[in-house]
Structure 1
Amino acid sequence: MTGPSKRIGLFVDFPEPQQDRNGVFGRDIAVDGFCEALVSHAPASELCLFYNGPLLSRRTADTAHLEALAGPDVTLRFSEMRAAKRDFGSLALTHFHDPDGNLNMAHDLRARYGRTLFPVTATPHVFSYPYLAHAWILRMLLQPGLPCDAMVCPTWSARQTFLNMIASVSDALAASHGLKLSFEPQTPVIPIGVDTDLFRPRDKSVVRQELGLPEDGVLIGWIGRISALDKADLLPLLNVFAKLLRSHGVQRPKLMIGGSGHSFAEMSLQAHIRALGIGEHVMFREVPTDMRHVYHAAADIFVSPADSIQETFGITPVEAMASGVPQVVSDWDGYRDTVVEGATGFRIPTAIAGSDDALSASSGLYDGMDMFDHLSFGQRVVVDPDAMLARLGQLVEDADLRRKLGDVSRKRALERYSWRSIIASYFDLWSDLSERARMTEWHRQPDYEGRNLFPIFGHYATETLPLTTPIALDPQAAEVLSGKVPLPAHLSVTGLLSRPVLVSVFSVLAGPGMTLGEAAERVSKTTGCDGETSVAHIMWLMKMGYVTRPGISQLEASEATLRLA
């Protein structure tokens, strides 16, 4: 293949602007950051970025910011996914990646439209929602995954969780249906990155002045969603901080809770702050997503007592790390990979009892995904308050230790979590998977969701027209052909209809009478579209009354069908 050595397909989500600019959502940060970093730091390659446009709207994807980031050796190609499917095989992709964990969708895309075998990969960001066992894990077990594919886990803990889910669903299928299914793709670990140019140490007195934060005293900062449902219960942190004030008041510590979240959570925190009498030492700040780097740099210590099973990686400790700020976090999930005990900060021991049968049984049953299971499970997780008090106190009173841990943090972030190094790791993985693909025998296999609609729903109609059905232009088509009435092909904005194909149908049917199949064949030869597309356009014109079946009305057709029955 000439040109770039890799032609990578990537599904990119272009959502509407967020309603909550102050919400810190790790999934959004990770997916957006990966796409921007891939465009910026990829070696010589062509990136084919697919997106879903609104079906009945002319709004197009905002691609300008990605185009501006493109590296000198990167060629960008944007395509709306519905349009790309029509010619997907000709793209000759060498890889396809879904940055939001949808490996099964990437697999189906290759199976239905790919002409040759290429690796598909995905990066997951959440494992805890009950519906994922069926909608995600089961689908991956039922699909013939290949060793040249990969689910790229952001941490070793996330990898273990994913494998636990695979084993749980597989065991259940074996017990209930006698099926023995396995997951064949690779499960490598590549972390999520941060922009280490943006997240960096800054002059704390300057940024605190800009943000209106106290310039004196030791500032402890929490930045993230304020939610006990899917992040962390901060009430225990307030108890610890109240004790810290009594034991280390001379250092004048302040606690900044930055972000936004559920109103009930914020009201509960405010009420407890008043009850503890620590209001003058605790401040809430809304942290716009695009200002996180400044707030991180303003803090002396970052704290995160995460206790939710929804947490998978935990991007905020790494952002603090890149900002040269030591971290005090719970010894929980992805934090174990990122925060190095005694080197970049401290991990606070956690404990949980193993009894949750009743809670697990109720999860996901007519609960509207209210995340009660997440909240209940999190309330059973103990983040050792005494250890947290000791570590926070140690850092509050020792500025030299804070500087030492901050320096190591910055170095680790540059070496381990810069997006440049993360993207390099992905390209190393894709090269390895390409070698596996070359040694893998592949042929398309049907998937149970690749349904044909006609066999399932075709009986809804009164009759099915055979290709031998005679068709002709209806007299009212003359109004369209003369320009008196415009052709109302408004659905052409969706790619559903093609005006050139519609015009070709008019042209073909202007001659002697012919059958549906003959007309479709001639339209295909004229326009280059496939037979199904030609038939679909003819049926739409029949739907609009511009094409008819000569010699028989629809009522007569219905009566004829009844007589035959």
Structure 2
Amino acid sequence: MSPPRATILYAKDGYDTSRPRLMGRHAAGEGFLRGMVRHSGFDRLVALVPRPADAAAFQAQARDLSATMALEAVPEAELHRVAETGCLMLPGPEMVPFAWRRQRTGAAGYSLVGITHTTASHGAMDSIADLLTGPLQPWDALICTSAAVRASVRRLLEGEAAWLKQRLGATRFVPPALPVIPLGVDVPALARDEAARALWRGRLGVGPRDVVVLHHGRLSFHAKAHPLPMFLGLGRAAAAAPAGARVHLLLSGWFADEVQRGAFQAMAQALCPQLAIHHVDGRKPEVRQAIWSAADAFTLLSDNVQETFGLAPVEAMAAGLPVVATDWDGLRDTVEHGVTGFRVPTLMGGPMGDLAARHEATLDSYDSYIAGAAQFTAVDVGATEEAFRALVADAGLRARMGEAGRQRAAALFDWSVVIGQYRALWAELGAIRGKAKPGTGDSPRRADPAVLFADYPTRRLGGQTRLRLAPGIPDAAAAVARLTALAAIPGVAPRRELLPAEAGFQAALAVLEGGPATVAAMAAAVPPARAARLARALAWLVKVDVLRMAEDGS
């Protein structure tokens, strides 16, 4: 085992697959945590957590995933401790806020590594464009899960750079690295289970010569994959199936609402009435784990710009299923055409600048924006039909492609391989960071309020400011007793957690028992690491009339 070389930003929302509105990023987050638990080789797993509840959730989830290493949850308020591991893994592309916060303790202290999921939303687009003006460094990286998404990220950055050059004359930019690392799957866990296969096929009424084509994931015509090409292509292939073989379409997924459910049912009835269609809730753990074994082939005909990788086809390959997928985004990286399945050509119309303008102005919602883009993206129905016909007619072809897919998944997409790529990236970024000069600096938009608002007060507390005990307070003990009583009154110390411990006050106030003293002399009474906090708190003691300003010569 080795010490950790990365800290995970953990908020339960990003890793929770038990939610009703399950998204790909949740499944990817859970898979990443499982991969880290099993394949990181760390002697402890460290998470940066925004809330105490996230710390408990991290500990519980990691143990549920059979973590045997030590687990450590670091409060987000202690972000500087990421330097202990050297890297902060973020669950999305929102890197700039953390880069600004890193500035305060030194940009060379650690690396930031984000990852793409969808890049079509306002938030994702803005987060990527902001990479050029935030304090990102050469030792930071935004992982792109596919070559196609890296191309779109580069296009966004190039457009932003052109605008900054036109507006400000800017010519030098320091974007993060853009490595391509895929999402991973647990290949052994997806191996075919013959008992589960018999159970599910019996439950669905599937005959011994029947062919089951599985579609697993969200069932959404506007945000995932429009089902029309699937219904047309598979329906026509079913009509030409060998005698005695019935084709079944198994929809393992979940509808966003009843409108989506009704649309799927209406399209199926109108376009492929001869196809046997079954629906199971793919959010249930027992379904997500076992449903792959019921199938003979898998399909995902994605046509949506919100997609960037497509995890389900990789899971299908791990389960030994041939895949019929679109030649689209990350599917182009995962499905090897003619070897592990078939990639169906796609066609995008345009221009669609009006959709971008309406989305930017919030006249169209995100769902309307991606639905509009998908409406003008076509999937080749003829090629879809040919692919399904080939697989339905030839069990040998299904077996060969399925085995090729299983081998490809094990070689390229198993978490043991993917986490190895992460480790190599952390090492590469660490080597670059090691050559950087240390330094600190504030965020210009979030400056120290004592500096930003320095012209507001009559005077500022400084090291040579002289203070004395307020009238009626004879010594340090009396001063501490008074401030303790005052702090107990609701509202007197609304941010009590910012005050030093009582022992620190006691040591500093003891300096005044011999008469007025400077702030510097009082701060010197506590360890150096606590001096700045103590010095600042002396202003609060003046506020509550435990201390007063000492006039020159008093």
TM-score scaled to structure 2, two decimals? 0.83
- 2:316 counterpart residue number: 320
Please say if 1:14 is aligned against 2:5.
Answer: no
- 1:505 counterpart residue number: 505
- 1:307 counterpart residue number: 303
Please say if 1:239 is aligned against 2:232.
Answer: yes
- 2:72 counterpart residue number: 77
Task: Map 1:159-238 onto structure 2 (within 5 A).
Answer: 159-203=150-194, 206=197, 208-209=199-200, 212-216=203-207, 217-238=210-231
- 1:560 counterpart residue number: none
**Could you tell me which of 237, 240, 245 is aligned with 1:251?**
245
**Could you tell me which of 397, 402, 412 is aligned with 2:398?**
402
> 2: distance between equivalents of 1:289 and 1:540?
55
- Structure 1 position 202, deviation (Å): 1.9
> 1: distance between equivalents of 2:421 and 2:196?
37
> 1: distance between equivalents of 2:204 and 2:490?
55
Name the amino acid aligned to 1:239: L
CA RMSD, aligned part only?
4.0
> 2: distance between equivalents of 1:383 and 1:170?
34
Pair 496,310 (structure 1): closer, same or farther in 2 beyond 3 Å: farther
**Could you tell me which of 256, 268, 271 is aligned with 2:263?**
268
- Structure 1 position 84, deviation (Å): 4.3
> 1: distance between equivalents of 2:144 and 2:152?
10
Equivalent residues of 1:241, 1:389 under 8 A apart: yes
Structure 1 unaligned runs (5+)? 552-565
Name the amino acid aligned to 2:115: T
- Structure 1 position 125, deviation (Å): 1.6
Pair 337,16 (structure 1): closer, same or farther in 2 beyond 3 Å: closer
- 2:373 counterpart residue number: 377
Name the amino acid aligned to 1:296: W
- Structure 1 position 513, deviation (Å): 7.2
Please say if 1:424 is aligned against 2:416.
Answer: no
1:401-432: CA deviation from partner (whole Å, max 9, x where unpaired): 11111111111111111101111122222223
- Structure 1 position 309, deviation (Å): 0.7
- 1:149 counterpart residue number: 140
Aligned length: 539
Pair 171,246 (structure 1): closer, same or farther in 2 beyond 3 Å: same
> 2: distance between equivalents of 1:294 and 1:177?
57
Equivalent residues of 1:307, 1:381 under 8 A apart: yes
Equivalent residues of 1:22, 1:289 under 8 A apart: no
- 2:130 counterpart residue number: 139
Please say if 1:437 is aligned against 2:428.
Answer: no
Pair 68,326 (structure 1): closer, same or farther in 2 beyond 3 Å: same
Deviates more, 1:413-422 or 1:241-250: 241-250
- Structure 1 position 369, deviation (Å): 4.2
- 1:95 counterpart residue number: 87
> 2: distance between equivalents of 1:482 and 1:442?
43
Equivalent residues of 2:507, 2:526 under 8 A apart: no
- Structure 1 position 132, deviation (Å): 3.5
Pair 500,213 (structure 1): closer, same or farther in 2 beyond 3 Å: farther
1:381-402: CA deviation from partner (whole Å, max 9, x where unpaired): 0011111112112211211111
**Could you tell me which of 100, 115, 121 is aligned with 1:108?**
100
- 2:461 counterpart residue number: 466
TM-score scaled to structure 1, two decimals? 0.82
Pair 464,317 (structure 1): closer, same or farther in 2 beyond 3 Å: farther
Alignment partner of 2:282: what SS?
Answer: coil
**Could you tell me which of 40, 46, 49 is aligned with 2:47?**
49
Alignment partner of 1:148: what SS?
Answer: coil
Equivalent residues of 2:138, 2:174 under 8 A apart: no
Please say if 1:366 is aligned against 2:362.
Answer: yes
**Could you tell me which of 22, 36, 39 is aligned with 1:38?**
36
- 1:130 counterpart residue number: 122
Equivalent residues of 1:255, 1:281 under 8 A apart: yes
**Could you tell me which of 383, 390, 398 is aligned with 2:386?**
390
- Structure 1 position 281, deviation (Å): 1.7
- 1:284 counterpart residue number: 279
> 2: distance between equivalents of 1:260 and 1:475?
72
Alignment partner of 2:220: what SS?
Answer: coil
> 2: distance between equivalents of 1:111 and 1:483?
35
- Structure 1 position 377, deviation (Å): 0.4
Pair 22,294 (structure 1): closer, same or farther in 2 beyond 3 Å: farther
Pair 221,23 (structure 1): closer, same or farther in 2 beyond 3 Å: farther
Pair 549,95 (structure 1): closer, same or farther in 2 beyond 3 Å: same
Equivalent residues of 2:6, 2:46 under 8 A apart: yes
> 1: distance between equivalents of 2:419 and 2:267?
44
Name the amino acid aligned to 1:243: R
- Structure 1 position 255, deviation (Å): 1.2
Alignment partner of 2:328: what SS?
Answer: coil
Pair 439,265 (structure 1): closer, same or farther in 2 beyond 3 Å: same
> 2: distance between equivalents of 1:39 and 1:16?
16
Name the amino acid aligned to 2:204: L
- 2:530 counterpart residue number: 530
Name the amino acid aligned to 2:283: P
> 2: distance between equivalents of 1:549 and 1:25?
59
Pair 437,510 (structure 1): closer, same or farther in 2 beyond 3 Å: closer
Pair 373,16 (structure 1): closer, same or farther in 2 beyond 3 Å: closer
Name the amino acid aligned to 2:533: T
Alignment partner of 1:225: what SS?
Answer: strand
Name the amino acid aligned to 2:335: V
Pair 350,519 (structure 1): closer, same or farther in 2 beyond 3 Å: same
Equivalent residues of 1:501, 1:523 under 8 A apart: no
- Structure 1 position 311, deviation (Å): 0.4
- Structure 1 position 307, deviation (Å): 0.8
Equivalent residues of 2:149, 2:308 under 8 A apart: yes
Pair 516,32 (structure 1): closer, same or farther in 2 beyond 3 Å: farther
Alignment partner of 2:190: what SS?
Answer: coil
Name the amino acid aligned to 2:39: H
- Structure 1 position 66, deviation (Å): 2.0
Structure 2 unaligned runs (5+)? none
